[in-house]
Chain A
Amino acid sequence: MGFYPIAHGCKARAMKSFDWTRNEVLVFGVILAFCALAAASDPNFLSIPTLTDLMRNSIVLGIFAVGAMVVLVSGGIDVSFTAVAAFAMYATTVLLRDVAPEMGWPVAFLVAIAIGAALGAFNGVFIALFGLPTLIVTLGTLSLFRGALLTFIGTAQISNLPSGMRDFSRWMMLRGTDADGNFYSLHWAFVFLVVVVIFTWFILNRTMLGRAIYAIGGAPESARRIGIDVKKTQMFIYVYVGALAGLAGIMHGSLARISNPQDLVGLELSVIAAVVLGGARLTGGIGTLTGTLLGVALIVLVRNSLIVIGVPSVWQSVVIGALILLGTGLPAYQSLRAQRRAA
């Protein structure tokens, strides 16, 4: 704690050392309440298999969310990352299958990350160089990338993956059965999420680049005047997010043991919902990795286990929608009241 971004500092001046109304605390509370309710109705809920399921389902969503959060912090919004991920995943699968079927998974991962970064740079050119609105550009590239993938590369799903990706899918960190005889396993892919989180944390909180990202989100004009190269920073952000999307895409394909070009697109709003639940603001300058991961955990819990607390799963999107309104409504309402008091 204690390392607040610059932009957060001025808005949070009046707050005490620990603020109970922060999104992170709220989301954590909701997660605890959810688990308590679930445990009350099903004693088997609090078990290792539930935990490993939650972790497994958070991997791809979590990497997406880290990328989406970096964009939000910089004051932009990216809705194209799912198309980038699908493109990188499928193009890499096809490339490996046709050109180098015997290559190991690290090659596949590097290729996918490179493709993702290239597509991210495409976004970056229009956003950083030409200054177009981020929502419009990424909305356009969402259909552009997806359309190009399905038109030029292919539409058929590939279930016979190249050997490298197959090897990766079998790479378990731990597996076993718990006391009740339920099977559980955790894939090494989870470590990738951890590495991505630590690496991003380091960039955001320990480098000048990270300061620049928060600064251009908080106030672009001020950032420019203190000598930050806004265009270069934005370019980095979109390339980085593209690379993360490429990584998430190839991991999704490997873990699912199928490469389906029509997959992933459609997830983007759920991911942004998770990030926003975790306290990142659309207006930029505010957002933490802790909050983002808690947001992801909550969304995954709702998607997987709503039925356990006695709510039929058709209510899933109503619940997620309501959580978004609650998670964004509270801080928005507070700042509105603070504004009105000041005015």
Chain B
Amino acid sequence: MTWLRTPEGRLAVIAVAVFILMAMVNPERFLSVQNLTSMAFQFPEFAILALAVAVAMLTGGIDLSVVGTANLSAVIAATVMANYTGGGDGVGIVIAASGLALVVGLVAGLFNGVLVATFGLPPILATLGTGLIYTGLALVITGGPAVLGLPPAAAWIGNSTVLGVPAPLIVFGLLAAGIGWLMMRTSFGLKTRMFGANPLAARYAAMDTGKVLLKLYALCGTLSAVAGLIIMSRANSAKADYGSSYLLLAVLIAVLGGVNPYGGYGRIIGVVLAVLSMQFLSSGLNLMGVTNFAREMIWGALLITVMLINTLASRRTL
């Protein structure tokens, strides 16, 4: 039973326990197809943001600009789409605007990377600053209100199913698998974790640390843009301050998933398990009639408890 001693092992137990508990308390409603489907539509958007934060944390950094990047990309894409006057359901313009959103996310991420890698800013402050700038730019573009009037095709990614599986869930599954592979099975992933464990040693090992950081933050930005597109599609609009509670949630999930905020350790499977635990808990509590505020309180307590267990457990093994 050695797997039980890893953070991921404990988390798997937590996820299953929460699921069973919620299913026992409210079997008809929690296990209903409707509830399971709505959970699968709800979590991918913040789960993808959590992936982005987790990836940045692997280097010992953090990306606080994920929500700002997501909204800026979505607002730019939505503005392009809303000004489209052609007929039909607008598949072409949706694909083009989505591509543009990904490019915006990539550029925003690269800018973070330049600040961290080239200018040596602490990642917390660099991304705190750019987060404000990206949110601010989205606000300048929209002037405040949401961008409405998207073509029908824009609703696809957030609301449709493929062979019965919700499209956002498929996107999240592919991204999680891809990033898990990138971080655990490629030299880029090894370099990322090595830099996180000991930046100085990484440099002495002749690693081009600047290039790794640039690529990594660009990846974070692009992931954020994907999340932004899903949020936009589900809301059928884009706004500068959508999902503002997602930042805390994304950091929480990454840490809950066992990613070491000081860098060097973290597994994507942990992040996935953390997302599932959070969603089971949220939906279950929601069905029990618990308010959003109580949920927020439970999230905070959960974060500290899990962190405490991980710290105490790692001290014991030392």
Contact = CB atoms under 8 A, between A and B. Distances in A.
- Whether chains A and B associate is yes
Interface of A: 77, 126, 130-133, 135-137, 139-151, 155, 269, 272-273, 276, 282-283, 314-325, 328-329, 332-333, 335-336
Interface in B131-178: 131-133, 135-137, 139-140, 143-144
Nearest to B293: A150
B122 interface: yes
Contacts of B301: 140, 144
B25 interface: no
Contacts of B139: 314, 317
B221 to A, nearest CB: 15
B129 A324 contact: yes
Contacts of A319: 136
B288 to A, nearest CB: 14
19 contacts: A130-B312, A131-B311, A132-B307, A132-B308, A135-B261, A136-B255, A140-B303, A140-B304, A141-B300, A143-B248, A147-B299, A150-B293, A151-B297, A314-B144, A316-B136, A317-B135, A319-B136, A325-B115, A336-B119
Contacts of B296: 143, 146-147, 150
Nearest to B116: A332
Contacts, number: 142
A325 B121 contact: yes
Contact of B307 (A136, A273, A325): A136
Given A142-B248, A155-B293, A314-B144, A322 B300 contact: no
Contacts of A322: 129, 133
Name which of B297, B304, B312 has the most chain A CB atoms within 10 A of its CB: B304
- Interface size classification for chain B: 35 or more
B251 interface: yes
Given A133-B261, A136-B303, A139-B248, A324 B125 contact: yes
Contact of A332 (B122, B132, B297, B311): B122
A87 to B, nearest CB: 12
B133 A333 contact: no
A82 to B, nearest CB: 13
